[in-house]
Amino acid sequence: MQVDISLKKIEDRSYTIFIEPIEKIRNLSKAVIVTNPKVAGLHLGYLLPKIEASELYIVTLPDGEDYKNEQALNYLLERLFDHKIDRKSTLIAFGGGVIGDMTGFAAAIYQRGIDFIQIPTTLLSQVDASVGGKTGINNRFGKNLIGAFHQPKAVYIDTHFLTTLPQREFAAGVAEIVKMAVVFDKEFFAWLEEHDLYEEEHLKYAIKRSVELKAAIVAKDEREGGMRASLNYGHTFAHVIENETNYKRFLHGEAVAIGMVMANELAKLMDLMSQEDAQRVKTLLEKYNLPTCYEIKDVDSFYEHFFLDKKTQADKIKFVLPRGVGDFVITDSVPKERVFEALKRFTR
């Protein structure tokens, strides 16, 4: 005897990412806006009149990566019970990636899963975190180690919110845009070289293109069995840098910028990338004042840190290396000597 359960694929959980000023979000039954004091202070007044729900609640969580934890999650879940949120209700994540990841995770586990909507308010969360369905929290063992794949019902990307974003946070988002272009799309990369993202129309196009590229990858490989790992370009190095600097010195996107420069050094040594292409990437990052230098004090220790990454399996480090601009390889067979040679270029 056998019983087959055919589970729905991602197509049945398709959703739309709107990149335009929010007009109205209609027909919600009970809804809860999850946000933090900073975003609420700046932008809740803009959002509230645009939401039509039979009942609407607001839950405010403390601001920052330090609060992307079990306590804040539990606080959020308790408020959902207080407000008698049910399986037909919708959570609205209104903030940067921290709020998005936590709200998404709460939506994934509250009564075994309810709907949620993303309204990302940082550039990084607009081009990256709000799309793709990865949700979760950090704990003392590391970042994003507890979580679920839970796709939103819709994503509303409104660049109005970015007008209040500090310059460094803006640039951190640009780093992830550059990442998408380097691995997937050489025309987009060339376009980025020619256009200034401080201009609204250009920024909108860059967001749209980044989101398209990410959506295409997620649709092919939702759970990162293969291709989705390409989004980790620069990240293997960035995670070590963030770790060595206790997550204090660099924003994530800044560490990714340096990480891409490091990955490019390795790609050059592996004859995958020309010096000229590596320079183009560096120049583009520098245009947005992103850091591209980092002094590695101890190469052995830096190398050992690769093995703390949750994406490093057994003794194999998986590198995403650009093949020129617009293409990539994922490899776990880079000789250790080559990695050392690349890392040594970042020592004094």
Q: Which residue ranges make up the site for ligand NAD (CB under 6 A)?
A: 36, 38-39, 42, 63-65, 68, 95-99, 101, 121-122, 124-125, 128-129, 132, 134, 143-144, 161, 164-165, 169, 172, 252
Q: Is 160 a catalytic residue?
A: no
Q: Position 191: which residue type?
A: W
Which of 139, 140, 61, 144 minimizes the C-alpha distance to 101? 144
Q: With respect to ligand NAD, which residue has the nearer C-beta, 90 or 122?
A: 122
Tell the smallest beta-carbon distance from residue 45 to ligand NAD (Å).
Answer: 13
Q: Is 134 a catalytic residue?
A: yes
Tell the smallest beta-carbon distance from residue 2 to ligand NAD (Å).
Answer: 37
Asked if residue 16 belongs to a known ligand binding site, the reply is no
Tell the smallest beta-carbon distance from residue 335 to ligand NAD (Å).
Answer: 30
Q: With respect to ligand NAD, which residue has the nearer C-beta, 165 or 284?
A: 165
Tell the smallest beta-carbon distance from residue 281 to ligand NAD (Å).
Answer: 20
Q: Is 27 a catalytic residue?
A: no
Q: Is 83 a catalytic residue?
A: no
In the numeric block, which tokens belong to residue 288?
Answer: 């947005």
Asked if residue 163 belongs to a known ligand binding site, the reply is yes
Q: With respect to ligand NAD, which residue has the nearer C-beta, 62 or 324?
A: 62
Q: Is 214 a catalytic residue?
A: yes
**Candidate list 214, 268, 280, 305, residue with the active-site label:** 214
In the numeric block, which tokens belong to residue 168?
Answer: 């460094």
Q: With respect to ligand NAD, which residue has the nearer C-beta, 135 or 272?
A: 135
Asked if residue 99 belongs to a known ligand binding site, the reply is yes
Q: Is 223 a catalytic residue?
A: no
Strand 328-331 versus strand 319-322 pairing type: antiparallel
Tell the smallest beta-carbon distance from residue 266 to ligand NAD (Å).
Answer: 23
Q: Is 252 a catalytic residue?
A: yes
In the numeric block, which tokens belong to residue 219?
Answer: 């649709």
Please state, in angstroms and rounded to a whole number, the distance separating the CA atoms of residues 207 and 203.
6
Q: Is 13 a catalytic residue?
A: no
Asked if residue 145 belongs to a known ligand binding site, the reply is no
Asked if residue 122 belongs to a known ligand binding site, the reply is yes
**Candidate list 30, 252, 268, 280, residue with the active-site label:** 252
Tell the smallest beta-carbon distance from residue 50 to ligand NAD (Å).
Answer: 16
Q: Which residue is nearest to ligand NAD (CB)?
A: 97
Q: Is 176 a catalytic residue?
A: yes
**Candidate list 228, 287, 318, 323, residue with the active-site label:** 228
Annotated binding site for Zn(2+): 176, 235, 252
Mind telling me the catalytic residues?
A: 112, 134, 176, 214, 224, 228, 232, 235, 239, 252
Annotated binding site for NAD(+): 63-68, 97-101, 121-122, 134, 143, 161-164
Annotated binding site: 63-68, 97-101, 121-122, 134, 143, 161-164, 176, 235, 252
